[in-house]
Every structure is written in structure tokens, then in C-alpha cells.
Amino acid sequence: MQILNGKKTAKEILDTLEIDVAQRAATGKKVPHLAAILVGNDGASETYVASKVKACNQIGFISTLIHFDDKVAEQRLLEKIEELNEDMSVDGILVQLPLPAHISEKKVIESISPLKDVDGFHPENIGRMVLGEEEAFISATPHGIMLLLEHNKIPTKGKHAVIIGRSHIVGRPLSILLSNNSKPGNCTVTVCHSKTINLKEICLQADIIVAALGVPKFLKVDMVKEGAVVIDVGITRVPDAGKKKGYRIVGDVDFDEVAPKCSYITPVPGGVGPMTIAALMKNTFKACVERN
Ligand code: NAD
């Protein structure tokens, strides 16, 4: 069994980006600028945005964090996005989800210019991704998983990949990427969800299992074939009085039991999470290069 170390792979990607940014700066070219919008004070969202801003600072990107309180009017948020769309200095815009109930996520996502939509949630980018067009911004978590498979040379061609979870941000786009005629890719993909019958039997046929449902330790050892590759996307905060923060992060895989049976497995934390950030930085770099 080998650990698919997302933290290490993400660092390699970020180190390369740092060199690329320095080269752009040295030749007088624009360096990437990411604008992140955070609404409210959700602890997890604050942590995610903070790590994105930190990554920007580490590799020489410019970052701007715009923080609204949770009562902000939808119109105010849309106006801010319009301002960022028109701001020539800004290459990438991300709005941290989820948003408060009075704000339409659909409206917000669709208001971001597809050319600056580095989260890859805009319907235009999703459409381009489905068509396999290179211009597409691919949403950061599925993109990060593909980069993790690529950098670690995990064979995917002809493999049966089972994805648990069909969300718009993880399971659904990943199912398309893994089935594309690409490298990595060329998998036969099964997408499972909350209404799937015989999930265990389906998982037992998988060469690659991606657990992206948000249920801590859901994937048990008796659901995994010997030698499978297991990718754990789940992030759930579980109360833990023994931790300084009062919680610990738990993935969707029962890691201790499942790991010995796998050929490769991602840990949580340190697996898909850092890869998501690396993919976002790659998207922002691409936005900058394409716009300038
Ligand atoms: P979501 O809540 O939008 O979707 C969950 C999906 O799981 C749904 O499609 C649902 O049908 C399916 N599901 C739920 N219970 C199931 C069950 N018992 N059996 C089979 N399928 C079931 O979730 P999401 O936004 O895709 O996030 C999933 C998890 O991934 C969460 O823990 C989230 O925090 C985490 N996440 C991590 C990253 C990262 O960077 N590592 C990024 C995004 C999401």
C-alpha cells in the first residue's frame, strides 16, 4: 500500500508555479491576481479562503480578500462581482460557497465572467469541460484529483472507477474527466448516489473508488477490492475535545481498516484538500496567461 501524498504533490505543483510567476515578473509580465469573496463567518469557509490566500502569497500571486457580513444584500454581492469582472488587474474570481440562504448561488455563479471563473462552476466552463475543450476552467477538486493521479502515474486506462457522490462540484465533473479520452482518463465510470442500490457490490467491482459524499468513515473495508486505488474527498469536522480547535477532520473512508487492502490511498487531511488548492492556483495562472 502506498499513500497518495496530496500535500507533497501539491507542493511540487506550487513550486513550479512559483518559478513560472517569478519568470513572468522578471520579464515585466503581469502576475496572477486572485480575488476571493467570503460571505459570513462560517468557520470552515474562513479556513478554506485563508488557505487559498496563503497559497497565493506563497507563490507570488496577488490576492484580494473581500469579506461581507452574512446579511449582505444579493444585489451588493452581484455589484461587487461586476466590478471585479471589469477590473483589468483581477484574473480570477472565487466566491466561497455555501452562501446564506437569501442569496442565489446560481445567480452569483452565473454573474462571474467565465474568463475569470477559476472555480470552474459557471455553466459555460462546465459545458466546455464536458466537451473536453482546453479553454475550460475545471473545478478545483476534480481537477486536483486528476493532477494527483497524473503526477503519481496512477494507471487509469480501462479501469473501472466508482464515484460515490454526484454533486456539481465533485462527483459529476470527476465522472466526466475520468471517462474522457485523456491521460489520466479512459476509465469506465459508475456514479453512485444516495438512491443507489447495491452500493457495496458496485464498489467491490471498482479498480478506483472516489468517496465524495460527506459521511465520515462511510467506505468500509468490506466494500473495497484488494489492490484498489482509493481517493477520499470527504472533509467533516468531528467534535474532539482532545484537539486544540475542539474538532478533527475526518474523511469518507475508514482509513485504518481500508488502507492495508489498497494499492494507493489518499489520507485526510493531506490528500485531496491540498490538491484542490494547487488546482485553483493552476487555474488562476492559466486565467492570467490567457487574459494577458
Ligand atoms: P454534497 O453534499 O453536495 O453531495 C453529496 C453526494 O453524496 C450526493 O450526490 C448524494 O447523493 C451522495 N450521498 C449522500 N449519502 C450517500 C450514501 N449514503 N450513499 C451514496 N451516496 C450518498 O457533497 P459535496 O459538496 O460533493 O462534498 C462531499 C464531501 O467532500 C464533503 O465532505 C465535502 O466537505 C468534501 N469536499 C472536499 C473538498 C476538498 O477539497 N477535499 C472539496 C469539496 C468537497
Question: Do 74 and 102 touch, CB atoms closer than 8 A?
Answer: yes
Grid coordinates 468557520 are at which residue? 43
Asked whether residue 54 carries a pLDDT value surpassing 90, the answer given is yes
Averaged over 117-124, what is the pLDDT? 98
Q: Any residues with CB less than 8 A from the CB of 47 and at least 6 apart, and which?
A: none
Question: What whole-number distance in Å separates Cα of residue 67 and Cα of residue 218?
Answer: 34
* pLDDT at site 221: 98
Average pLDDT, the chain: 97
Question: What whole-number distance in Å separates Cα of residue 139 and Cα of residue 278?
Answer: 12
Range(s) for CATH 3.40.50.720 in the chain?
A: 140-272
* CATH for the 29-113 domain, from 3.40.30.10, 3.40.50.10860, 3.40.50.300, 3.40.50.150: 3.40.50.10860
Distance 213 CA to ligand 1 centre (A): 3
Is the C-beta atom of 214 inside 6 A of ligand 1? yes
Q: Which of 80, 91, 96, 286 is catalytic?
A: 96
What is the enclosing helix (H) or strand (E) of 188? strand 188-192
What's the pTM?
0.97
pLDDT in tens, 11-34: 999 999 999 999 999 999 999 999
* CA angle at 254 for the pair 227 and 184, rounded to the nearest 5°: 45
* pLDDT at site 29: 97
* pLDDT at site 292: 85
Question: What whole-number distance in Å separates Cα of residue 194 and Cα of residue 192?
Answer: 7
With 0-12 CB in 10 A as exposed, 13-18 as middle and 19+ as buried, what is 77?
A: buried
Question: What whole-number distance in Å separates Cα of residue 121 and Cα of residue 143?
Answer: 12
- What is the third-level CATH fold of 140-272? Rossmann fold (3.40.50)
Distance 282 CA to ligand 1 centre (A): 23
* pLDDT at site 235: 96
Active site residue 195: no
What is the enclosing helix (H) or strand (E) of 232? strand 229-232
Question: What whole-number distance in Å separates Cα of residue 95 and Cα of residue 34?
Answer: 11
Question: What whole-number distance in Å separates Cα of residue 4 and Cα of residue 82?
Answer: 40
Q: Which of 133, 94, 99 shows the shortest CA–CA distance to 113?
A: 94
**Biggest alpha carbon–alpha carbon distance for the chain:** 58
SS3 category, 202:
helix
**CA distances, 114 to each of 127, 130, 145, 241 (Å):** 11, 15, 22, 43
Range(s) for CATH 3.40.50.10860 in the chain?
A: 29-113
Asked whether residue 70 carries a pLDDT value surpassing 90, the answer given is yes
**CA distances, 32 to each of 15, 65, 93, 191 (Å):** 15, 14, 11, 35
Residue whose CA is at the smallest distance from ligand 1 atom 30:
234
Distance 275 CA to ligand 1 centre (A): 17
Question: What whole-number distance in Å separates Cα of residue 208 and Cα of residue 205?
Answer: 9
pLDDT in tens, 167-222: 999 999 999 999 999 999 999 999 999 999 999 999 999 999 999 999 999 999 99
pLDDT in tens, 139-150: 999 999 999 999
In the chain, what percentage of residues exceed pLDDT 90?
99
Q: Which of 119, 195, 202, 213 is the pocket-test mutation for ligand 1 (most atoms within 8 Å of CB)?
A: 213
Q: Which of 66, 62, 86, 88 shows the shortest CA–CA distance to 77?
A: 66
* pLDDT at site 284: 98
Distance 49 CA to ligand 1 centre (A): 19
Asked whether residue 259 carries a pLDDT value surpassing 90, the answer given is yes
Active site residue 119: yes
SS3 category, 130:
helix
Q: How confident is the model at residue 234 (pLDDT cuts 50, 70, 90)?
A: very high
Is the C-beta atom of 34 inside 6 A of ligand 1? no
SS (H, E, C) 31-95: CCEEEEEEECCCHHHHHHHHHHHHHHHHHCCEEEEEEECCCCCHHHHHHHHHHHHHCCCCCEEEE
SS3 category, 192:
strand
Q: Which of 119, 232, 252, 254 is catalytic?
A: 119
Is the C-beta atom of 274 inside 6 A of ligand 1? no
Active site residue 205: no
